Amino acid sequence: MIDRAQVEKRLARLAEVEAELSRPEIQAKPAVVGLAREHAGLKRLQDKADRYFRLHDELAENRTLAADPAADPDLAALAREEIATLERSLPDAEKELRVAILPPDPDAGRNAVMEIRAGTGGDEAALFAADLFRMYGKFCTRQGWKLGLVDASGTDIGGYKEIVFTVEGDGAYRTLRYEGGVHRVQRVPATEASGRIHTSAASVVVLPEVEASDDIAIPPDEIRVDVFCSSGPGGQSVNTTYSAVRITHLPTGLIVQSQDERSQQRNREKAMTVLKSRLLDMKRRQEEEKLGTTRRSMIGSGDRSDRIRTYNFPQNRLTDHRINLTLYSLDRVVEGEIDGLVSALRDHDIEGRLARELGSPAGS
């Protein structure tokens, strides 16, 4: 049984948020984004709470009626039938309410910044990085999200040493955050004449895109900006204008560049977005280490050197090592059909958060 008073205490904040959002001056401030997300979360909590407590109250009433010896036999029979229906519905309603009670993730609704880098395996690792980029691109297209290329370092045979891109769309970061880590591939490379299976790897980093409310200020004297001609696979110049931009953050040594746009200004804006997102992530990690706390999400937010997944092409097998999930549908996964995989990771993450913050669900 979920404590009704605990939920009502949380929902008391709803009126305060609605009052804040109704103020005309708040609409022009960065804080409006956070307030709007908090409002959506509280409304969701209200809906889930209404359903759960309605079912709980109806179940109690029907149990009382069914157990009343003075009750009309037909009404008692109807009550027993209703009890069975309510008992089937209540566990799902309770789980949904528990999830809604969880502290809101401030990053859940953000766009994502993704970076894929070839690891061990030479040309085959670079080709695998390209395959991952293609997989995410197809998945994002199916979600109706917009993918924006920031920078890419290609190889002569169609791979990527490194590729950086943004994903714009509702829930992009919430969904893709679980992809962060080392992805390993086992297959026969196209360049392998003897048919031997090679093992290669690529790393994926997923960051929440920085927003104005994050207040990540970068003084001009803390960066060095270099401009250069855009380059294609193998490093050859692909245009003669100095439109590409490289930004070095002097205090941290972080380097970001963008060369996908024809405009130097647009490339600078893209590079600054990625730099600020990296600095935000670095700031949060340092704060959490200092406080001795854990990441909000235990999946996709830990050590980026962790091997999270293996793609075995000869067996058409994909294994996600974090949740011990194996699928024999790799041919569909690489075509962007990762919905089931993402859902399984999200459910596992939610169960972990529930166990840590609320204790085990009732009845378990």
CB atoms within 10 A of CB 206: 24
pLDDT at 361 over 80: no
pLDDT digits (tens, 9 = 90+) for 201-226: 999 999 999 987 787 889 999 999 99
pLDDT reported for residue 336:
97
| Between residues 352 and 49, the one the model is more confident about | 49
Question: Is residue 101 within 8 Å of 9, Cβ to Cβ?
Answer: no
By CB atoms closer than 10 A (0-12, 13-18, 19+), residue 39 is middle
pLDDT at 234 over 70: no
CATH number of 220-291: 3.30.160.20
pLDDT at 99 over 90: no
∠ CA 285-310-175, nearest 5°, is: 50
pLDDT reported for residue 356:
74
Question: Is residue 242 within 8 Å of 220, Cβ to Cβ?
Answer: no
pLDDT reported for residue 291:
66
pLDDT reported for residue 23:
87
| Fold adopted by 112-208+302-352 | Alpha-Beta Plaits (3.30.70)
| Between residues 5 and 303, the one the model is more confident about | 5
pLDDT at 278 over 70: yes
pLDDT digits (tens, 9 = 90+) for 306-344: 799 999 999 999 999 999 999 999 999 999 999 999 999
| Between residues 88 and 108, the one the model is more confident about | 88
pLDDT digits (tens, 9 = 90+) for 134-193: 999 999 999 999 999 999 999 998 999 999 999 999 889 999 999 999 999 999 987 676
129-157 CB burial, b ≥16 within 10 A, e <16: bbbbbebbbbbbeebebebbbbbbbbbee
pLDDT digits (tens, 9 = 90+) for 1-14: 888 988 999 899 99
Q: How far apart are CA 308 and CA 179, in angstroms?
A: 8
Contacts (Cβ under 8 Å, ≥6 apart) of 199: 120, 121, 184, 185, 186
pLDDT at 233 over 60: no
